[in-house]
Amino acid sequence: MIDGAEAPAIRFRDLTLGYDRHPAVHHLDGDVESGALLAICGPNGAGKSTLLKGIAGALSPFSGAVVLPRAKRREIAYLPQAADIDKSFPINVFDVVAMGLWKRCGLFGGISRKELDKVRDAIAAVGLDGFEDRAIGTLSGGQLQRMLFARLLIQDAAIILLDEPFTAIDSKTSKDLLSLIARWRAEKRTVLAVLHDLDLVRDYFPQTLLLAREKIAWGKTDAVLTPENLLQARAMIEAFDRQAHNCARAA
């Protein structure tokens, strides 16, 4: 369990992130409370996945900073979109889950019997007992996501970043994985999840950040996901798209 404290888990300080000199998240300020369960929502192209990559350290800011007052980068567990996983790679479920240990053991370090038991326990906890030797290319979408959640369990991180964790999986898997997220919240871990299903956000996530390349609203979910805020987010993304199109034509 992660101890509670007054300091926020994450601070955004005039943060701008992007690719190839094109900003995708603009001048974001705010604090993510320690132990928060925060949904990140917004239209396609809003910068949601980009923000998670910035927090994880996979993307350097153009300006500003992501500050971690209580944690180090190695204490962050990051689940990318399922589309980013190469299912053709010849590796089995057990080995993928065991990769969650590498920050503690090193890339070529030995794994103790106790740690091997933790890997097996994590696989069982997500409902994949008996799948240890299965090649990942044979897994369904729901089974693949269960495996990746097992790897998160092994990482035992203070901050957990989830990028569209419920896309293209069945309702039973979604319910089981939401139970794991509730467990992390009870353990005072900080969980940020990029989500598109606003009904799911309203049901399970008490706080929401609504992005449209910049912050539209941030706070209690019911106060953030209003028709007015959602309309503003859509209008801002459409304005960004029109501006980008016009710039491309002018070039």
| Residue of 78, 150, 156, 79 lying closest to 120 (CA atoms) | 150
* In the chain, where the domains are located: 7-71+159-175+189-251, 86-157
Instruction: For 43-110, give the DSSP string.
Output: STTSSHHHHHHHHHTSS--SEEEEE-SS--GGGEEEE--GGGS-TTS--BHHHHHHGGGHHHH-TT--
Structure tokens at 166: 């419920």
User: According to the model, what pLDDT value does residue 250 have?
Assistant: 42
Residues 6 or more apart from 175 whose CB is under 8 A from it? none
User: According to the model, what pLDDT value does residue 4 have?
Assistant: 46
User: According to the model, what pLDDT value does residue 249 have?
Assistant: 46
User: According to the model, what pLDDT value does residue 242 have?
Assistant: 72
The residues of the chain scoring below 70 in pLDDT are 1-6, 83, 103-110, 243-251
**CATH superfamily placement of domain 7-71+159-175+189-251:** P-loop containing nucleotide triphosphate hydrolases (3.40.50.300)
User: According to the model, what pLDDT value does residue 38 have?
Assistant: 98
User: According to the model, what pLDDT value does residue 184 have?
Assistant: 97
Residues 6 or more apart from 202 whose CB is under 8 A from it? 221, 222, 225
Yes or no: say if 199 and 193 are a contact pair by the CB < 8 Å rule: no
User: According to the model, what pLDDT value does residue 1 have?
Assistant: 42
Yes or no: say if 176 and 125 are a contact pair by the CB < 8 Å rule: no
